[in-house]
Homo-oligomer: A and B are copies of this chain.
Amino acid sequence: MQLKTKIDAEDGRQELRISRKFELPLELLFKAYTEPEILEQWMGTKVLKLENEKYGSWQFETTDPRGNKHRFSGVIHEFVPDRQIIRTFEMVGTGFGVQLEFLEFESITEETSRLDMHIVYRSAELRDQYLKIGMPRGLSMAHDRLQEAAEKYK
């Protein structure tokens, strides 16, 4: 089955370009990335901190089926409501390093919108590790859940 979230991973490069179209108005798509209540539903993660502002920071935590806790965190370099978030991202305590993420939100029609993500990694090897652990499929499934969860807030 083809994934709805498209990932462009050029060989040997330390970046990924990701694009997903949602059947959601732009404002609601942006809320799904910034309001803890919606975020927690589709990411399956607990939002410990989410300062939606320039120079803010964020921390999420997930508990895996074995009960182990995993922490994700970063800082927000830029925050433009309904348009752009530039942030760092790290899976804390793993060897995956710190990456820089550019998220651009765009309206297509009144009822549809698009998210374009550009992720820059410290190395091509680290990027490839993410691909290897199934990140494309995982992200697309998470976005499927986002669509479903956000619909309830229409």
A122/B120 contact (C-beta < 8 A), A14-B14, A74-B77, A76-B75 known: yes
Residues from chain B with a CB closer than 8 A to the CB of A15 are: 14
Q: In the assembly, what is the distance between CA of A76 and CA of B86, in Å?
A: 13
Residues from chain B with a CB closer than 8 A to the CB of A98 are: 77-78, 86, 100, 102
Q: In the assembly, what is the distance between CA of A118 and CA of B123, in Å?
A: 10
1/0 per residue A107-136: CB within 8 Å of B? 000000000001011100000000000000
Q: In the assembly, what is the distance between CA of A75 and CA of B99, in Å?
A: 13
Which chain B residue shows the least CB distance to A88? B77
Residues from chain B with a CB closer than 8 A to the CB of A122 are: 100, 102, 118, 120
Instruction: Return A33 CB to nearest CB of chain B, in Å.
Output: 18
Q: Could you say how many copies of this chain the assembly holds?
A: 2
> Which of B13, B100, B118 contacts A100, CB < 8 Å?
B100
Does A19 reach chain B (CB closer than 8 Å)? Answer: no
> Which of B75, B102, B118 contacts A75, CB < 8 Å?
B75
Q: In the assembly, what is the distance between CA of A86 and CA of B97, in Å?
A: 11
Residues from chain B with a CB closer than 8 A to the CB of A57 are: 55, 75
22 of the cross-chain contacts (CB-CB < 8 Å) are A13-B14, A14-B14, A14-B15, A14-B120, A55-B75, A57-B75, A74-B77, A75-B75, A75-B88, A77-B90, A77-B98, A86-B88, A86-B98, A88-B88, A98-B100, A99-B100, A100-B100, A100-B120, A102-B122, A118-B122, A120-B120, A120-B122
